[in-house]
Structure 1
Amino acid sequence: MVAGESSGDLLASRLLAGLRPQLPQARMHGIGGPHMAEYGFTSDWPMEKLSVRGLFEVLAHYREITNIRNSLRAGLMAERPSVFIGVDAPDFNLGLETDLKKAGIPTMHFISPSIWAWRGGRIKKIERAVSHMLVVFPFEEAIYRNAGIAATYVGHPLAEIIPMTPDVAAARIALKLPPRATVVAIMPGSRMSELKYNAAAFVAAASLLQERDPMIRFIAPMAGLEQGRYFTELVDAAGLSEVPVQLLYDQSHLAMAAADIVLVASGTASLEVALFKKPMVIAYKMLRASWEIMRHMGYQPWVGLPNILAQEFIVPELLQQAATPQAMADALWQQLNDVNGRATLVERFTHMHHALLRDTARESANAVLALIDQSRPATS
């Protein structure tokens, strides 16, 4: 298995939760993180090596990432595993899966690339690469089956992990936050490249909010100590060290549960916020050259998963030049003071949660076992 970032590590762990009891002696290895390790998964390279986002940012790490993929491919060709499972990270995994499938090794991909949002032509590449696709949104199964690719809708693992009704009081006690304070969670991304472009702008928005209400509490969950150090460096360099932001580590779900509202980078985290039934502002900045290319490749007016699933702008999106500190602060303030709007969002997000809820561990594990069985040579 290969997962390339913290969200993939969490998603893959749900599959392993269903698979490990049925294959207790199996060797499970590749690239993954701490959640996968809880199920006896061994990571042959640090997952952080793949946690790079943006077309030009990837180029800076191209040689190292290519060397990892080549080494992994050579090892798997010699080992010939019962199945290879790529977890998201399509730019890394699909090419690897193509070579493995061509060599007769069954390949599965968990979490579809967003072909319904941009780069739809990738479905031909997926057909060459993937023996079976596990999809996490209800509408995706038909897309793949219509293209002749075996697919199973397994629900979204996060819909199982996140409670239908979050315990705000317990989360605030755990984080030592006042029970009646207004709490804003700042989530600029888990990748270093995301922090580079989003961290200072997000904290500048927090500074503007603090001017309006000095009693607001700000929390910022970090994916790890390295990310926390880099976040602090960026904030200090921007002259924002006086903004009181409480850093948290490995506590992103507690932060979302405790928050009244979240300023979140586009990506899986925005879906997590929706499942916690919280109002949010989705914002994202990246290298300008990457943005100029990617903005012309989209098929839909939305980039945030909650809006894509709702097929409308139910929460604000502020991207690239529009993601100014003032615009983010204004959007957050408007939502904080819109009681009726927050109630409507809770209703919409609850419906979304039910639509994504399945026994993902069981469904995905059964699909893996079925693929392994059908790929075994027939015995006479």
Structure 2
Amino acid sequence: MASSADLKIAMVAGESSGDLLASRLLSGLRPRLPEAEFYGIGGARMAQYGFNSLWPMEKLSVRGLFEVLAHYREIKGIQNSLRDRLLADRPAAFIGVDAPDFNFGLEAQLRPAGIPTMHFISPSIWAWRGGRIKKIAKAVSHMLVVFPFEEDIYRQAGIPVTYVGYPLAEVIPMAPDVAAARQSLGLSAEAKILTVMPGSRMSELKYNSVAFVQAAQLLLQREPDLHVIIAMAGSRQRAYFESLLNEAGLKDVRIQIIDGNSHTAIAAADAVLVASGTATLEVALFKKPMVIGYKMMRASWAVLRHMGYQPWVGLPNILAREFLVPELLQDAATPQRLAHAVWTQLTDENLRRTLQQRFTEMHQSLLRDTARASAEAVLKLIGRT
């Protein structure tokens, strides 16, 4: 095989979950292409494999129809600048990791110019906006999917596809070490612990934080031995989160805020209050009872609430095809209702045993050697097998 020294591969991940997914792909690619240049937009985990991010990943971490509109000019400017750079560089491939609105728009401009495009993790076309698959067919040379049922959807649409498993199913142990997680956080092995995850995007923190923390305070009043951990995606999110709590006058000595260590926070927990998104599946892989909550700008909710194809929004419920865990969205996500739902997850031992069994089965169904499978798909795409 020829040297990889002159090989360039561009990638874009738009948020912390995409950074983690992309790092798994890079862990499989870097040993096979030791001298290749990987660049584009990404985060700290991708940087561990020598990835060069041309813009801060946080610039793309915006969610919600109207929230995106507020940042549209800046995001579109980044997309156009990156497009021009890639059309000049002619990388061997472009890999969009999640961030579908940004990446599909970019892929649709790169593929006609002869740059192979791969997209890692399918948007939820099986949940809403299914008509996007026609646009995907024009933009994407090859799709990598993380759920087994997604393969047939793309094959029927004539889009080359590879099922690579869910990357975190390999990373998260089948039996997490709860005692070690608690010890690393300075928590008692006997404590009752609630982990709160209000989201990684600033827009999610804006709408979820106050209700989530108020629910935690209600639970602290009900259970004197409860300890609350709040997991932040990073120092920037923590500073913003703390400013929201200060404005709302929400403080409690039994609330501990940690940065960038969400897996430890989940592993230590007896239950988790989590914002809808990929984090819900991470919680399921840790076999933890949970309540899924989510709030957004009211105008965005008015539009999005009518666009779903199925009754669930949380990934564990979608995979189970039932309301395995509670979902409290928008007006339903009041502190009182969130607290009541979490209390059940903390105290109903039969429910806790059932969830542990179901989540173990879910974990087993998602296990694959994702790094190897995704890397081999990229190598085949660029003719380096």
CA contact (8 A) 1:203 1:243 kept: no
Q: Render the CA deviation track for 1:20-46: whole Å, top value 9, x for unaligned.
A: 100011110000000000001000000
Q: 1:225 aligns with which of 235, 242, 245?
A: 235
Q: Secondary structure of 2:230's match?
A: strand
Q: Secondary structure of 1:264's match?
A: strand
Q: 1:79 aligns with which of 59, 74, 89?
A: 89
Q: Render the CA deviation track for 1:195-235: whole Å, top value 9, x for unaligned.
A: 00001110000011011112200001111111111111111
Q: 1:151 aligns with which of 150, 161, 164?
A: 161
Q: What's the % identity of the aligned pairs? A: 71
Q: Render the CA deviation track for 1:143-166: whole Å, top value 9, x for unaligned.
A: 000000000000000101100000
Q: Secondary structure of 1:186's match?
A: strand
Structure-2 residue corresponding to 1:98 = 108
Deviation at 1:244, TM superposition (A): 3.0
Gap runs ≥5 in structure 1: none
Structure-2 separation of matches of 1:178 and 1:232: 25
CA contact (8 A) 1:209 1:333 kept: yes
Q: 2:23 aligns with which of 6, 13, 38?
A: 13
Paired amino acid for 2:245: V
Structure-1 residue corresponding to 2:270 = 260
1:369 aligns with 2:379: yes
- Superposition pairs of residues 15-164 of structure 1, within 5 angstroms: 15-164=25-174
1:239 aligns with 2:285: no
Structure-1 residue corresponding to 2:337 = 327
1:291 aligns with 2:329: no
Q: Secondary structure of 1:28's match?
A: strand
Gap runs ≥5 in structure 2: 1-10
Deviation at 1:243, TM superposition (A): 6.0
Paired amino acid for 1:267: G
Structure-1 residue corresponding to 2:3 = none
Structure-2 residue corresponding to 1:199 = 209
Deviation at 1:297, TM superposition (A): 0.5
Deviation beyond 3 Å, 4+ runs, structure 1: none
Q: Render the CA deviation track for 1:298-319: whole Å, top value 9, x for unaligned.
A: 0000000000000000000000
Task: Please say which of residues 254-263 and 235-244 is displaced more in the overlay.
Answer: 235-244
Paired amino acid for 1:124: K
Q: 2:182 aligns with which of 165, 172, 176?
A: 172
Structure-1 separation of matches of 2:130 and 2:302: 18
Structure-2 residue corresponding to 1:250 = 260
Deviation at 1:184, TM superposition (A): 0.1
Q: Secondary structure of 1:218's match?
A: strand
Paired amino acid for 2:139: A
Deviation at 1:242, TM superposition (A): 3.2
Q: Render the CA deviation track for 1:259-290: whole Å, top value 9, x for unaligned.
A: 00000000000000000000000000000000
Q: Secondary structure of 2:104's match?
A: helix
Q: 2:289 aligns with which of 279, 298, 311?
A: 279
RMSD: 1.0
Paired amino acid for 2:18: G
Structure-2 residue corresponding to 1:301 = 311
Paired amino acid for 1:173: Q
